[in-house]
Every structure is written in C-alpha cells, then in structure tokens.
Structure 1
Amino acid sequence: MLDFLSSLGEQVVDAEEESFLLFTRDIPSANLGFVDARASVVDVTLHGQELAIHQSPTLLSSRREGGTTGAVLWKITPRFAEWIAAPKNPFFAASILNPAATVVELGCGISGLVALALAPRVSHYIATDQEYVRKIFKLNIDENVQAQPKKRGGGGGGRSRTEKSNNNNNNSKITFTPLDWEVDNPTTLKQTIPNTAEEPSDPGFDLLISCDCIYNEALVPAFVRTCADICRLRPVYQPDTNPETEITLAERPTVCVIAQQQRSPDVFETWLRETMRVFDVWRLSDEVLGDGLKDGTGYIVHALVLKPSP
C-alpha cells in the first residue's frame, strides 16, 4: 500500500508548505467553478458518451438553509469523472477499484457524473449528499444510464436486450442516501445497498471520493470527521504488517481521493491541517493525473489513508 501511494505522488509533510507551494503558482481563473449556473440542462461528453445533466439554477439562487451548491454542475466534476474511470487509472491497476469494489462519494451533488462513470466497473456505488439533491440526482441517473454511445454504421435504432439488461444492472449499482456531515452517522451507509444483509460482513468501502466539497472553512471539521469515520469501518493500514500475510479485500484500508478547485489558500490549509491530524496525505503527480487535472489547471487531487494507531 505504501509503495502504491508513493507511486501516486509526493507525500505531504507540512500543511503550510503545501499550501504555499500550490497557491503561489499561476492559477487560471475559473470564477466560482460552475459549468453554467443559468442553464437547466448542461450537455457533457464522458468517455465518448453524450450525457444531458439536469440542474436547478433556481435552487442554487435560493436562500435554502444548509446550502445550495450541489444544485448545479461544477467544472471539476466531468474532468474528475473522466479520470477516475479511465481504464489506465492507477486505482484499477492496483485493484483498489475492481468488479468487487464498493465506492462511497461525499457531496455528490445533482449530476451523478462520477457515479455514472464508475458504477459499470465496480460492485456498488453509494452517492451521498443532502436530501434536496435526491430528486435531480435520480433523474440524471435514470436518464443517462440508459444512454448509449452513438455507433457508427449498421441499421436499426433499437437497443438489444443485452444492452438494456446491462443498463438496468448499472442503474441498480447506484444508491443515493442522504448524509449530513454535521449530524448523521455514516457507519450504516453500506446497509442502504439493496438486497444486502442488514449487517454486511464488510461494512467498509474500498474508495471514498469527494469532488470539490472543500470551500467552506466552517464545514472542514465535520467533513474530515466523516471521512475518518467511514475509513474506520475498515482496518487501519499498518505498514509493519508481515508482507507474507494474505490480506482479503475486506481487510484493505479505505483510500480517500479528494479533488478540489484551487480557490482560497486559507480554506485549503485549514482542511489540510485538520486532515493531517488523522490521515497520511499524498498529492497526486501530473503523470498520474494527466492533462485535465494536472498542475496549472487550477485543480488539485490528494490521496489519504488513516494514520496507523499509536
């Protein structure tokens, strides 16, 4: 695990130094980071597949208590979804993502893009956010999971029974469940998966994803605590474990992948300081991230694992 994490990029050892390094570089202006805050539908191409993402500009501009930022699509999300689901992504190469893997996303928003990208390649994907997101999230999943890439040549516009079956299977792999970082307990998340036992033998997850959820300093402690609580559902990685011992999938530690747009150095440093209290942190390199998320794009991605017990 340490070899794998080290292959992703450089381990972060000082929050202030990391913040200074990242925010003294040229950062392209992306405003707040919305794709189009006024459109009710946004067209997105993901791995050659054309998707129509519904969103709610009205809800975004409302005064709803608890925030409304999940009501529209953010620019980082299509880039991250394209990257994380790519066949050559290192998380697939290391079998952290695999057909038996379960993934949980914090702050999924309305788009469902990351879920749509990853669900066909894993066992199950649990997307979480506040309850107001559910209706449009479900609409985007239901409509776009049926979409098929346009095929060249050939006749007939209908889909085969096999294609329809695969679409239904992918849809059933995605579960939305509300999760408020400040008040909800995330320890029973896996029980929301349909057709599973009330007490799953493995209550944990292989991968935890968060895409552009760190913009409010006041929410940082609750966010980090939620990440840690979910990761504690699996054994904490102990680097001095006997390498000859076989580790089952259920015994692997949960790896967190946190992607964010560079906005405020103060908010970023607050998040990183709080995170480094309980997690070891690596910043993913340009070689791992590729053109869409590399240095200079205005986006950064870190990988986390819980620190070993004292």
Structure 2
Amino acid sequence: MTVQSLVRALGTPVQDASEETFELFAQDLPSQNLGFIDPRAPTLELAIAGRDLTIHQSPSILSSNRAGGTTGAVVWKIAPLFAAWLASTTTTTTTTTTTSPSGTTKTTASTTKRATTKSTRSNTPNNKNNVTSNSYNSDVTNPLFTHSLLTPSSHILELGAGISALPALLLAPHVTRYVLTDQPYVARLVELNLAENLPSSSSSSVSAAGGKNVAKGKGGVKSAKSVGAGVMGGGLRERVVFSPLDWETDAVTPSLTHSPGVSSFDVVVACDCVYNDALVAPFVDTCAAACRLRTVENSAAADSSVDGGDGGEGKRIQEPCVCLVAQQLRDPDVFEAWLERFGTVFDVWRVPREMVGRELGGEAGFVVHLGVLKGEVNLDEEDGEGEGV
C-alpha cells in the first residue's frame, strides 16, 4: 500500500475550488455556533477511543485581547472527532458530550465494533443537572492505517495544534514521533495536558530538544523549548514534542522532527485552523514547506544512490508526505480562499464520508481534505492494484 493506492481509492481530486465550496455549503448544515465544546470550562473530561483524558484550557486567554490570536486556548468541537478518527485502527467511533452546571464538560469518543446512533438533549429550566448529551457513531477506519501510511515508525507534524494535544495523545501509541506546533502562548497548557495524560519514563515532564534551533523568524534564530523531547522508546510521553512555530515569521526546518537522522515527516495534520482570510497564505505556505522536507530528503537519497554514497547502497526513497486538513464549515469565502491557494501547490481530495465517517462528513458541518504536493503522485494511473480502503 502506498500514497498512490490511497489517492486512487479517494477517487477524482478536487477540480475547482468554487464548485467544491458550493457543494459543501449548499448542504443543510447544522448550527455549530463558533464551534467550541465549552468556552467557559477550565477543564474538560474527555473519553476518546477508550481513554479517559483530562484536558485543561483557558477561558481567560480566549476572552483576552492578546495580539496574535487566542483561538488555540480552548478545545473546539471538531477536535475529539478528528482525534478519534485519526487514531482509529478499528471500526466504530462514538463521541458523547455532557455539560453540567459545575463547569465541567465531559466529551466521550470511543471505538466499538458495532455502529449505533443516538442523539439526546436535556437542557430545560426544570433539569437540575442542565445536561446536554450528544452521541456520534461512524464505522470507519482511518485509511492512512489501511494504506500503511501511518506505521510505528511514522513522524507526524501538527500545525496550529492549540492546547489540547488530542491527536497526539491518541496517536502516540501508534507512531514514533508526534510534533505539536503553535504559538508559544499555548505551551504551558500543552505541557500540562501531556503530563497529565501520557505516561513518562522519566521524572521530568519537560526537556529542551537537545538545544536545537527549530524555527528561524524575522528576528533571527530562536531556540525552542520542547515538551516531552526525551529519549525515544522510553514511554509514550517521550514520543510527543511541542515546538513554537509561527506561520508568518518562522521557517520549517528538518530539525523540527526532533529525531536524529530523520529530516522529514510522513504526515502533516491541521485541525480547524482555517477561519481567517489573513491566515490563509501563511498557513498554506507552512503546509507546503513541511511537506517539501520529504521531497528534499528523497531527492538527496536519490542523488546519494546515483553517486554511490553510503557504501553504494544509498538511502531509501520514502513515500511522499501527506497533508490532512480538517475544519468546520463556517465561512464559504474563507474556505474557498483557502482551497484555491491550497490547490495551487497540492493535488487535493475530499476524504469521502465512507472513509471519514458520518460525524466528520460534510453534512455534519465538518470536512477533511487530503493534499499531496503536485507532481508527487501520478493522477493518470489507472492500475487497479490497492483499491481497497
């Protein structure tokens, strides 16, 4: 299984940004408001894929006038859905959200073998508990596992991760390295959420990434503090790293992998990062720069093989990097601007409902697109090998 087999299974790529936008927004989309789970609760109790998680967030930062944005300070509705799907190696994902007057919100996303559907709401003046419950089910497996693009040796980069670290918490058992990136203001809560929810083989919860410089901004090179950048193979905690990365000022470099001998990523993910016209260009440019690390690494491997380097054996050519972008459908103009620019550097596919599940399908108000840098896959290949998903 390969990237080629995956995109073949995905079908025809998106041909026109305006048509894709019209098709998605012409649906009868549910009201999601802004899309927060609970912007007032300092703590969320989440159960995802059989794991109970405690996630700390910051309503005060969200409501502040901090320059540079505050949206990463709380958890958005799409986050547990995307995390459960991304880490799904089995068949059914169920998500439940419960809010109580005490300020505690509990969201459950679990995986079972049997799909059922249940949706209930109880939020009346006579309801002392003021409980709102919603259950979501989808009998799908992440096709990146099916097509062997997520493996125990995979390196994942998340852009605009925010404070929750949910995809990292769920994927850590399945990959070698998960790198979370966002602006520095989320680092403290990322550290807290990782420390509380992932076992560590060491007593220290934070370490510097070997003193490496991972981002070069307008003001020069800065050394990034990293969460969980310990020795690999100890505990799940050591597999997850946080590095500050500003799309407008920082450069993506191979040292961002925080893994000796590894200079690129297998998968780049972003969840609910597209909500502002001004961020479209820097976001897409960062996605492209991150994926090009693999292109550069493969080019060097090919040159080494031709030149007889590495004892004449050369380095292995790896699969192209895949970029996954999940988002809530809010503003058609912003969405179309993103897709138009994204499509100039990536071949793009909408992940269909049968692969992404009902709760992340377009009719649910969410959508997932997959991009591969242009020229990395053969769009004309009609060979039938690897059709299964």
- Which band: TM-score by shorter chain? 0.7 to 0.9
Are positions 1:142 and 2:202 aligned together?
Answer: no
Tell me if structure 1 keeps the 8 A contact 2:5–2:147: no
Tell me if structure 2 keeps the 8 A contact 1:9–1:285: no
Cα distance in 2 between the residues matched to 1:126 and 1:61: 27
Determine the structure 1 residue equivalent to 2:57: 55
Determine the structure 2 residue equivalent to 1:132: 185
- Deviation (angstroms), 1:284: 0.6
Q: 1:256 to 1:83 in 2, by over 3 A?
A: same
Are positions 1:180 and 2:238 aligned together?
Answer: no
Aligned residues with identical type, % of pairs: 48
For 1:198-217, what aligned pairs fall within 5 Å after superposition?
200=261, 202-217=262-277
Determine the structure 1 residue equivalent to 2:236: 170
Structure 2's unaligned 5+ residue stretches are 90-140, 201-231, 300-313, 377-389
- The equivalent position to 1:235 in structure 2, one of 284, 295, 304, is 295
Q: 1:64 to 1:89 in 2, by over 3 A?
A: same
Q: 1:95 to 1:231 in 2, by over 3 A?
A: same
Tell me if structure 2 keeps the 8 A contact 1:235–1:252: no
What TM-score comes out, normalization by structure 1 length? 0.85
* Secondary structure in structure 2 of the residue aligned to 1:43: strand
Tell me if structure 2 keeps the 8 A contact 1:216–1:267: yes
Cα distance in 2 between the residues matched to 1:45 and 1:259: 20
Determine the structure 1 residue equivalent to 2:171: 118
* Secondary structure in structure 2 of the residue aligned to 1:51: strand
Are positions 1:254 and 2:254 aligned together?
Answer: no
Determine the structure 1 residue equivalent to 2:9: 7
- The list of structure 1 runs, each at least 4 consecutive aligned residues, that deviate by more than 6 angstroms after superposition, is none
- Deviation (angstroms), 1:291: 2.3
For 1:1-310, what aligned pairs fall within 5 Å after superposition?
1-87=3-89, 88-146=141-199, 169-191=235-257, 193=258, 196-197=259-260, 200=261, 202-235=262-295, 251-308=318-375
- Deviation (angstroms), 1:127: 0.3
Structure 1's unaligned 5+ residue stretches are 148-165, 239-246
Root mean square deviation, CA, Å: 2.2
Cα distance in 2 between the residues matched to 1:141 and 1:127: 11
- Deviation (angstroms), 1:250: 5.4
Tell me if structure 1 keeps the 8 A contact 2:199–2:236: no
Q: Show CA shifts across 1:92-129 (max 9, x none).
A: 11111000110000011000101001111001000000
Cα distance in 2 between the residues matched to 1:295 and 1:211: 15
Tell me if structure 2 keeps the 8 A contact 1:129–1:180: yes
Residue range with higher mean Cα deviation, 299-308 or 6-15: 6-15
Q: 1:66 to 1:250 in 2, by over 3 A?
A: farther
- Deviation (angstroms), 1:292: 2.1
The structure with the largest alpha-carbon Rg is 2
Cα distance in 2 between the residues matched to 1:17 and 1:71: 33
Tell me if structure 2 keeps the 8 A contact 1:53–1:111: yes
Cα distance in 1 between the residues matched to 2:265 and 2:78: 23
* Secondary structure in structure 1 of the residue aligned to 2:293: coil
- Deviation (angstroms), 1:187: 1.4
What TM-score comes out, normalization by structure 2 length? 0.68
Tell me if structure 2 keeps the 8 A contact 1:258–1:301: yes
* Secondary structure in structure 1 of the residue aligned to 2:371: strand
Tell me if structure 2 keeps the 8 A contact 1:145–1:167: no
Cα distance in 2 between the residues matched to 1:114 and 1:225: 22
Q: How many residues get paired?
A: 277
* Secondary structure in structure 1 of the residue aligned to 2:149: coil
